[in-house]
Chain A
Amino acid sequence: MDWSWDRAWEIAPELFTRGLAVTLQATLGGAVLAFTLGLALALLLRSRRPWVRLPVRGFVEVVRSTPLLAQLFILYYVFPSTFGITMSALTTGIVGLGVHYATYTAEVYRSGIDGVPRGQWEAAVALNLPRFRTWTGVILPQAIRRVLPALGNYLIGIFKESPQLALITVVDVLGLARILAAEDFRYLEPLTLAGLFFLVIAIPSSILVRRLERRLEHG
């Protein structure tokens, strides 16, 4: 065993302050974008106009079938030079995570909306509710309640995948661990601490979501 507690204690504070702050920003930023953009995509996918629905479907399929890392590369390397859009690495990462996971949450919203009983639509029609009110007042609140656990799982998913941003130079927990490792070529301590960090947050969160799932099922 070459594990050095001294080294571990030395790097832990920085890892869990500076690194953590970036990881949390990436996770929350990515999640907010994924949850809102996902809803928009879900609604567009329900459009009756094929020229709206089909391109959106194509976009969702492409994003879901290709690696997040490839998408990050496009945002990071292609967007600045080709479209003149330059973002910081972290912002690029947040957009990448958000768009990638929006294509997953869109599916979640879709099943949530489909799960709202037909009678609810009919009741809304019978009450002569305008279309917009039907959506915001009747359908979406019920649909979103149903999909909360699934969204919770994607929040954890975004958190777990956020270290990929280290590969486009974001200094999150993993990115910082690599930098700290490169200082003295001791990889064991920083990478183990980083791994444990994700494990320690992800596992209890998953258990929490499973509880929520059961509560909603029985409630």
Chain B
Amino acid sequence: MNPCGGDLPGVLGDTMPFLCGGAWITVQATLGGMVLATALALAAGLAALSRRRAVRAVARVYLEFFRGTSVIVQMFWIFFALPVLTGYRVAPLFAGILALGLNLGAYGSEVVRGAVQAVPQAQREAAVALNLTPYQRMRYVILPQALVGMIPPLNNTYIELLKATSLVSAISVGDLIFESKALINTGSDRVTVMVLVMLFYLLLAAVITLCMRTLERRAARMVGRDVAAFRLRLKGGH
């Protein structure tokens, strides 16, 4: 039976089609936000490690600015206030993804910076001794090794991002939360609706974590490390 179909028995049949539609929007906002956040995290994280002060300063301002306020404030500002300044109206979902990416990208940049700094200095030195350029050192030696360390904290960032997508409902994007509110307002059983909403979020969070675990195992194999042993070492290190 189609779990999103209207032919489900009772209250499920009344609510699931709407919630599935909402979940699909939530997935879109999450994926869009993830792509933007990851790109910004890499750019800002590497910029924070630049030898040039000006570049570091830009990364720093970005980080402090977007960490200084929450997604909801940024989203409202981008959606309602920015068009007044620019004269362009942005589509609600796009404004939402923009705010999510900018905000979580700032947190992600700290993850990238930390993971790059955690790669042993000796690796950089070996790359210098082989006369690789600074770009080549980063691209072929340091970043691939930093990737393994990035994945577990990035998983947390992505889960936070998934949770923050709920805020797009406030700028009338029809995500899970938006649909649940609409259902509640039209008299659907509140308990059922909210239980289903929570299950959807748990499912999506589980999918993200599962993907990231797989990615971590692959990345760890690439650098010849055993994930279990690596995690143990991380824990012991603290």
Which A residues fall within an 8 A CB radius of B? Answer: 1-3, 62, 64-70, 73-74, 77-78, 81-82, 111, 160-161, 163-164, 166-167, 174, 178, 181, 186-188, 191-192, 194-195, 198-199, 202-203, 206
Contact = CB atoms under 8 A, between A and B. Distances in A.
B85 interface: yes
Nearest to B26: A67
Interface in B77-133: 77, 80-81, 84-85
Contacts of A67: 162-167, 177, 201
Contacts of B73: 160, 163, 174, 191, 194-195, 198
A54 B72 CA distance: 33
11 contacts: A65-B206, A66-B163, A66-B205, A70-B201, A73-B180, A82-B191, A111-B238, A160-B69, A195-B77, A198-B69, A206-B67
Interface of B: 64-65, 67-70, 72-74, 76-77, 80-81, 84-85, 159, 162-167, 169-170, 176-177, 180-181, 184, 190-191, 194, 197-198, 201-202, 205-206, 238
Contact of A199 (B65, B81, B184, B190): B65
Contacts of B72: 161, 163-164, 166-167, 174
Given A82-B191, A161-B70, A195-B73, A167 B170 contact: yes
Given A64-B159, A66-B163, A70-B177, 6 more contacts: A70-B198, A73-B181, A73-B194, A73-B197, A77-B194, A81-B190
Contacts of B68: 160, 198-199, 202-203, 206
Instruction: Provide the main secondary structure of the chain B interface.
Output: helix
Given A174-B76, A191-B80, A202-B69, A2 B167 contact: no
Nearest to B184: A77
Given A163-B70, A174-B72, A195-B69, A66 B84 contact: no
Contacts of B165: 67
Nearest to A199: B68
Contacts of B198: 62, 66, 70, 74
